[in-house]
């Protein structure tokens, strides 16, 4: 398993690279998947992650993800590797050195959970797994975006929500032109759809920018969601996305002052 380290770099410089690098203008085949290090209470979330990993491998599209081997992260990465697909995990050094992210719901006493975590300590096809170690959470998100032509959100928690909304915002302000897809398994993302609609109605999100995120809903009968091919549906959504330049507010991301020197005395947000 090759491991590389990305040294700290100017965030604005990297954002500009994302915008202008032809690899990213033409949308690379890699797909960044945001998801939980927990497995969830319903087994359909695990099978959805497996469906996505299988589709990525089948279509020859590299998986780019957060580098964890538990929960849905473990399920999607294992499914991709088991079928001969390429996987890149991007993880901050603090997490890497402590053994990676854990199932955040391990202390949940609910006995109905199908399993506590998906553990993949020795993934198959190890030679197809690359781990990129970065310094900060910010660099993790930027590095994932550089390698991806589209983004898919599986069910997840705070981290997944934040990652999804950040790449949506990057579309809005002209950093990239890449599709964002949410897999609305069992209506998991229905509250977010409603929140966006409410923000449009209340004048906080511009009408027409709802296109920045696509929802894949699956069958109306939730009982069919476990057998539904979420992976194929996600990739079809990515490929069908058309960008409308008229609805964005693009900024010149090359227009930034030189950063102040790295100094341990700087507040902790600099290293978040």
What pLDDT, on the 0 to 100 scale, is given for residue 29? 85
3-state secondary structure of 121: coil
10 pLDDT higher than 60: no
Count of residues making up the chain = 272
Residue with tokens 């380290």: 5
What pLDDT, on the 0 to 100 scale, is given for residue 123? 54
pLDDT digits (tens, 9 = 90+) for 126-179: 788 999 999 999 999 999 999 999 999 999 999 999 999 999 999 998 888 899
* Structural domains in the chain plus CATH codes: 3-19+30-103+113-249 (3.40.50.450)
pLDDT digits (tens, 9 = 90+) for 47-97: 999 999 999 999 999 999 999 889 999 999 999 999 999 999 999 888 887
Determine phi and psi for 202, rounding to 5 degrees.
-90, 0
Give the C-alpha separation, 139 to 222, whole Å: 37
Query: Which pTM does this prediction carry?
Result: 0.80
Q: Are 24 and 148 in contact (CB under 8 A)?
A: no
pLDDT digits (tens, 9 = 90+) for 209-262: 999 999 999 999 999 999 999 999 999 999 999 887 777 777 777 776 665 555
Query: Rg (Cα) of the chain, in Å, rounded?
Result: 18
């Amino acid at each position: 398993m090759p491991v590389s380290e990305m040294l700290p770099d100017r965030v604005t410089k990297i954002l500009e690279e994302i915008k202008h690098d032809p690899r990213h203008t033409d949308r690379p085949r890699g797909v960044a998947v945001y998801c939980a290090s927990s497995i969830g209470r319903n087994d359909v979330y695990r099978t959805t992650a497996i469906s996505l990993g299988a589709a990525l491998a089948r279509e020859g599209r590299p998986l780019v993800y957060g580098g964890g081997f538990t929960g849905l992260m473990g399920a999607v990465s294992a499914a991709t590797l088991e079928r001969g697909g390429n996987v890149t995990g991007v993880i901050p050094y603090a997490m890497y050195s402590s053994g990676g992210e854990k199932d955040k719901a391990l202390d949940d006493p609910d006995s109905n959970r199908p399993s506590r975590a998906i553990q993949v300590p020795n993934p198959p096809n190890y030679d197809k797994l690359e781990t990129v170690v970065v310094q900060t959470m910010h660099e993790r998100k930027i590095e994932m975006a550089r390698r991806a032509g589209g983004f898919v959100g599986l069910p997840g928690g705070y981290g997944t929500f934040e990652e999804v909304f950040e790449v949506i915002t990057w579309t809005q302000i002209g950093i990239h032109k890449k599709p964002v897809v949410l897999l609305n398994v069992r209506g998991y993302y229905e509250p977010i759809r409603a929140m966006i609609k409410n923000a449009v109605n209340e004048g906080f999100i511009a009408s027409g920018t709802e296109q920045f995120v696509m929802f894949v809903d699956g069958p109306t009968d939730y009982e069919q969601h476990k057998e539904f091919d979420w992976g194929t549906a996600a990739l079809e959504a990515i490929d069908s996305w058309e960008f409308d330049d008229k609805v964005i507010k693009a900024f010149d991301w090359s227009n930034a002052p030189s950063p102040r020197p790295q100094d341990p005395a700087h507040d902790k947000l600099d290293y978040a």
